Structure 1
Amino acid sequence: MPPHLSADRPSAQPPPRGSVDALISQTRRLRGEVDAVRRETPVDEEDAQGRWQRALCDLALHQLRDLDAHLAQLRDGPPEVPVPAPATAAHRGTPGARGQDSLLSRVGSAEWNLLTDEASWSGELYEILGRDATAPPLTLDELPSLVLDEDRPMLTTMVTDCLIDAKPIDGEFRIQRPDGGVRTVHMMGEPVLDAGGSTASMWAVLRDVSELRRSQRTVGETRETLQRQQHVARTEHRLAVELQEAVLPPWRGSLRFPRQGPGALDVAAHYLPSSASALIGGNWYDALELPDGQTLLSVGDLTGHGVTATSGMAMLLGALRGMAVAGTQPGQLLSWLNQLIDSTVQPALGSAVCCRYTPATRTLGWAQAGHPAPLLFRDGTGCALAAPDGVLLGATSGAVYGQAEETLREGDLLLLHTEGLVPLPAGTSLAGTAGNPGETAAVRSLLDLAPRFGEARTAQDCIRMVVEEFGGTEREEDACVLVARIGS
């Protein structure tokens, strides 16, 4: 093939071999680093971000491999164009026998002589197009026969602009191989001018970019999936926050329950969000004045995050309030809540503590479902109340929940909380049975606040102390705390 030169400009000189070798070394070192990142990226079909990162690494590796091969060609100089020879038995019928997936077979070249109507193809171009190496190369008029119908106008326009207006060719089209496969080819070329400035021939370099485009599509698809998931997550978070704010009592200070009469409770509560997750959990706190003058106190936590957890929490809290208003005692109330969770379509587990306070006698009746017991603070010291039997809500059908009773005094302080209020070192479990090291450590940390609680004037002051002590530390889960002080 004659050199691809235009009559009005000199040929470019090849770069020094040492500089190209240095670029090849840098490219291969970068390939190794990108490959290491790819291997460290976890493979999980459910993780859109991980799939997007892996697709980006695959695309980068594909481009770096091509760059390595192209630099090697630049270093070694242009190959000689072989004269087509009769095909051997091994080659006949297997156009890709030289290595269809080899890097060098992705780039071929061609020249079309306009004066003689002759065409000259490199062996690599035969492999790209899936043509028999013994067949004559196609002329410019015949080349569109390989191209898909919808891409032919683009190829025709590029060739026409090159031959008539001497515009460089730079575009992509898809070809159909004889075996039925479709490949994407990137074509770059320019006219070769004779001494009089007329177009004598046209040369082009054709590159099989099918794998590259496939990798780019994968990156685009995983990016879109990730963006959709992020949009869904943001929407879900907003809905979960709005639902939680609509359900939890919007207290901004201490409240009195009941509003009239002796022995009333001074109540305050607070929700502490997770610092490790943007998702909202199913924690709740509640205080409700009942028709008989008693007061319902409860805190709980439903497993899960997001709208599913907050909607489930809203359902439980609504059922809890309704049964309490009807006069249901705490033990029976938790049994029915357990039956409610057991009959729902979406399985879940929940923990709760439910208290019913009678102001006339300062008596507290309470039950728990796999939940930390209320803490009682009196005269500058504190202790956890002895818990009656009770398993997690939703853990087993037909569960029976015991009920305990405690006589309180004026000035006593009750603290109800969900697990996770006191952040613990990594690897320490808070859940479990009584005596669990994590639970014991959390309770001990809260009981250490007893002297400070003794100096507090209101329940809201106690909440502020809890938040100052534990609110600024890292917590994996969100949590709720409720404080009730027995008045005169």
Structure 2
Amino acid sequence: MPSHLSADHPAAQPPPRGSVDALISQTRRLRGDMDAVRRDAPTDGTDPEGRWQRALCDLAMHQLNDLDAHLAQLRDGPRPVPVEPEAAPPAVRAVPAASSPHGSLISRVGSAEWNLLTDEASWSGELYRIVGRDPAAPPLTLDELPSVVLDEDRPRLTSMVTDCLIDAKPIDGEFRMLRPDGDVRTVHMMGEPVLDVDGSTVSMWAVLRDVSELRRSQRTVSETRDSLQRQRHVAQTEHRLAVELQEAVLPPWRGSLRPEQGPGTLELAARYLPSSTSALIGGDWYDAFELPGGDTLLSAGDLTGHGVTVTSGVAMLLGALRGMAVAGTEPGRLMTWLNQLFDASARPTLGSAVCCRYRPQSRTLVWAQAGHPAPLLFRNGTGRTLTPPAGVLLGATSGAVYGQAEEPLEPGDLLLLHTDGLAPLREGSPRPAAAHTGRPDLIGTDDTGGTVETGEGAAAVSRLLGLAPRFGEARTAQDCVRTVVEEFGETERADDACVLVARVTT
């Protein structure tokens, strides 16, 4: 049989054994380093980014294992076809199946030569294993080779072979083969025509590599990358929608609700402070609304959750709260009805809230709360926490009854409503629990069922009360809000927060 080398090209000398051994050693050291990186890669199957990183590590290991095997083959030379005893039963001559899609990472490489003059074929033993063919059977001729290729890939193989034999073009392409055991393998074929002295093609030789595992690993990388990109796109879209909805629900008030400010009216300012540890929009909210007859409704609260769902829940809650207040419902009764709405919701959730009704004629504040920090009252350079009436978290229990309290205000008084996320998270402090609203470590309950600040919540209130002298010197409610932001910063919270300031005009 003619040599697979063209008569025009002398045989290349094999590389020195020592240089190949050095390459093998370097490859194995790199493979060990890569394996260490792979072990450190995230293994949480629920995280798309972790799956993508893991898939990239596996792909790199595939490539390094292939390189190691190919260098070893280069060093040791091609494998001969194994000669089996004639007396051996068929079961002994059976060829082991190729590595399963989740088995060995090493690609198999075989070689073949087809003589066009004698129509003979010569295969290496490894090619028999790739195709899943009994080594005792004759190798497939070029005419028979398409019979083991999938129907949709046969035109590609035919085109590559035709271009090689007629136009002397090198072969470099892939196709899928169906093994007798039903396993489909992806094979990468590289080959060249062998020419005689007059330039005519006398045979064709090829190297065939089983790249099934490599292609599977590449598909995994691609799929996990696409999944990660889709997740990021969805998250970005949801975040944008949540921000737009929140901005519509929480306008940044500066000034009075009334066009003409007079004695006893409220000058307002508010601020939403996002979390520094999450890009998601939380459920903290504030609201101010002028009621028929001149009263003003002030409220603040926090719903569990993040994103579009909780932001739309805030919008619905504010609509219900305003509607009941317009109908004349007092804050205590209003909290009771809100709790019934939470209890009847198809999507169970928890929330905290404080609701105040200010009557400018008498300068009286009537208020109620549901598991929420009490308002702070500042007067003549000092501050104090209003004594909270009884009230549990919204949605915590059916049939809850909420108390109501009254507080007389004076010209120049400043009322501050805030959510519990204003307190910074200390090193080692627990994260907010999914079964509670906001920061459960900040709120406690007294003997009467009312809520009291505890732990970091109490520390935050103490810091707010310490701002009383600066509030007394402030010219506007907006200046007071700016003072709060300066005190607590905008990058120190593990949860988002809201601040609403209302100052009684003189």
**TM-score, with structure 1 as normaliser:** 0.93
* Partners of 1:118 and 1:154 in 2: CA distance: 23
Match of 2:182 in 1: 180
Residue identity matched to 1:208: D
Q: Deviations over 1:244-263 (max 9, x none)?
A: 11222342x22256956531
Match of 1:66 in 2: 66
Q: Deviations over 1:194-224 (max 9, x none)?
A: 2333222111111111111111112222222
Match of 2:53 in 1: 53
* Partners of 1:23 and 1:444 in 2: CA distance: 68
After TM superposition, give the deviation of residue 4 of structure 1 in Å.
3.4
Superposed CA RMSD in Å reads 2.3
Is the Cα contact below 8 Å between 1:95 and 1:130 reproduced in 2? Answer: yes
Q: Deviations over 1:374-404 (max 9, x none)?
A: 1111222222222222121112222211212
After TM superposition, give the deviation of residue 178 of structure 1 in Å.
1.0
CA change 1:201–1:377 in 2 (3 A) is same
* Partners of 1:485 and 1:291 in 2: CA distance: 20
Match of 2:403 in 1: 402
Most deviating of 403-412 and 367-376: 403-412
Match of 2:448 in 1: none
Q: Is 1:443 matched up with 2:461?
A: yes
Residue identity matched to 2:405: A
Residue identity matched to 2:472: G
Match of 1:389 in 2: 390
| Count of equivalent residues | 487
* Partners of 2:90 and 2:403 in 1: CA distance: 84
Matches within 5 A, 1:10-25: 10-25=10-25
* Partners of 2:87 and 2:285 in 1: CA distance: 79
Residue identity matched to 2:228: L
Is the Cα contact below 8 Å between 2:423 and 2:457 reproduced in 1? Answer: no
Is the Cα contact below 8 Å between 1:331 and 1:403 reproduced in 2? Answer: yes
Counting aligned pairs with the same residue, the percent is: 75
Q: Is 1:287 matched up with 2:274?
A: no
Match of 1:477 in 2: 495
* Partners of 1:87 and 1:407 in 2: CA distance: 109
Which SS does the other structure have where 1:175 is aligned?
strand
Q: Deviations over 1:89-130 (max 9, x none)?
A: 475463117977656672111111112211111111111111
Q: Is 1:217 matched up with 2:235?
A: no
Which SS does the other structure have where 2:421 is aligned?
coil
Residue identity matched to 2:72: A
Match of 1:342 in 2: 343
CA change 1:381–1:15 in 2 (3 A) is farther
* Partners of 2:453 and 2:99 in 1: CA distance: 68
Which SS does the other structure have where 2:422 is aligned?
coil
Residue identity matched to 2:147: S
Which SS does the other structure have where 1:242 is aligned?
helix
Match of 1:40 in 2: 40
* Partners of 2:98 and 2:276 in 1: CA distance: 58
* Partners of 1:327 and 1:28 in 2: CA distance: 79
Most deviating of 412-421 and 13-22: 13-22
Residue identity matched to 1:231: H
* Partners of 1:381 and 1:367 in 2: CA distance: 23
Match of 1:125 in 2: 127
Most deviating of 3-12 and 147-156: 3-12
Which SS does the other structure have where 1:428 is aligned?
coil
CA change 1:314–1:46 in 2 (3 A) is same
After TM superposition, give the deviation of residue 13 of structure 1 in Å.
3.1
Most deviating of 30-39 and 159-168: 30-39
Matches within 5 A, 1:54-453: 54-82=54-82, 86=86, 88-89=88-89, 91-92=91-92, 94-96=94-96, 106-251=108-253, 253-256=254-257, 262-428=263-429, 430-431=439-440, 432-433=443-444, 434-453=452-471
After TM superposition, give the deviation of residue 88 of structure 1 in Å.
3.2
**TM-score, with structure 2 as normaliser:** 0.90
CA change 1:485–1:72 in 2 (3 A) is same
Is the Cα contact below 8 Å between 2:250 and 2:285 reproduced in 1? Answer: yes
After TM superposition, give the deviation of residue 423 of structure 1 in Å.
1.9
Residue identity matched to 2:202: A
CA change 1:93–1:102 in 2 (3 A) is farther
* Partners of 1:105 and 1:225 in 2: CA distance: 27
Is the Cα contact below 8 Å between 1:243 and 1:311 reproduced in 2? Answer: yes
* Partners of 1:368 and 1:177 in 2: CA distance: 73
Which SS does the other structure have where 2:377 is aligned?
strand
CA change 1:29–1:384 in 2 (3 A) is farther
* Partners of 1:475 and 1:33 in 2: CA distance: 39
After TM superposition, give the deviation of residue 45 of structure 1 in Å.
3.5
* Partners of 2:342 and 2:242 in 1: CA distance: 20
Q: Is 1:454 matched up with 2:447?
A: no
* Partners of 1:287 and 1:294 in 2: CA distance: 11
